[in-house]
Amino acid sequence: MDTDTDIEEGVRDQENRDYEQPLAAPLIEPMELAKWSFYRAIMAEFVATFLFLYITVLTIIGYKNRNDSDQCGGVGLLGIAWAFGGMIFVLVYNTSGISGGHLNPAVTFALLLARKVTVPRALMYILAQCSGATAGCCMVKALQKTYYMDHGGGANELTHGYNKAMGLGAEIIGTFILVYTVLSTTDPKRNARDSHVPVLAPLPIGFAVFMVHLATIPITGTGINPARSFGAAVIYNNKKIWADHWIFWTGPLIGAFGAEYYYEHILRAHLTLYRDHHHITHR
């Protein structure tokens, strides 16, 4: 790769477009720790992930309970996929202006790698997401303890008949699709060119979650979100769940890294190099 050529292309792109390429976020920004907006964003991530797990785990348990007595009843796997995708659409739309609407440690990790959030913000977001997910599952268990324990608590595990490599691969590819969609729909270049994109951004993200669930529910129950898997595992607390749990952190983080590298360093290499070069020369 010719770095100088890519930087020059990035400069030309900036000169010919009516948008400003955002500078890389610093790894640590002490000033943000003193701002109410920082803590408001953390609160938004906690509440959104709480609601996400509450609704989706209730949907899973309701489906399994109904399916025990009526094989043709309940929402089915299609309905579960819609519940996850639909809730992501709603919650990302509601929180994107406050916290960015991450709701997922894999998304936060990718945006940290892309230098779009600081390290303290990323760590606090992940803590809030995991805490919110745990609280959401705890609420479901408190309200429907018998059904919750009888039907697996919505926890992710490797389905019988699939080996760990297949489960890990499903999580990697599924998260790659999700994070690739997030990076694409939040691209400042696209937002500047198409004014409707910021409003519609939650829609393709929700659809990405929906489509991945259709493909991977039979394999792992679909994680692609370490907080979702962690919260359900903590509250259900089953030996088999914990034995498989590493898949639901390793897979999403690898998938997020791959999507970030592909989008930021291959598809947008000239803009990323220009951003970093501009940041260094103006320090």
Q: Could you report the per-residue pLDDT of 59-114, keeping only the tens digit for each?
A: 999 988 877 666 566 678 899 999 999 999 999 999 999 999 999 999 999 999 99
Reply yes or no on whether the pLDDT at 140 is more than 60. Answer: yes
> Which pLDDT score, from 0 to 100, does residue 83 have?
96
Confidence at 204, pLDDT banded by 50, 70, 90:
very high
Geometric angle at alpha carbon 161, from 157 and 164, rounded to 5°? 55
> Which pLDDT score, from 0 to 100, does residue 28 have?
82
How far is CA 141 from each of CA 4, 7, 97, 146, 230, rounded to the nearest angstrom? Answer: 57, 54, 31, 8, 15
Region 227-251: what's the mean pLDDT? 96
> Which pLDDT score, from 0 to 100, does residue 208 have?
97
Confidence at 271, pLDDT banded by 50, 70, 90:
low
> Which pLDDT score, from 0 to 100, does residue 192 have?
56
Region 18-35: what's the mean pLDDT? 77
| Comparison of pLDDT for 119 and 192, the residue scoring more | 119
Helix then strand then coil, % of the chain, to nearest 5: 75, 0, 25
Reply yes or no on whether the pLDDT at 282 is more than 50. Answer: no
Q: Give, as one character, the DSSP assignment of residue 158.
A: P
Burial of 67 (0-12, 13-18, 19+ CB in 10 A): middle
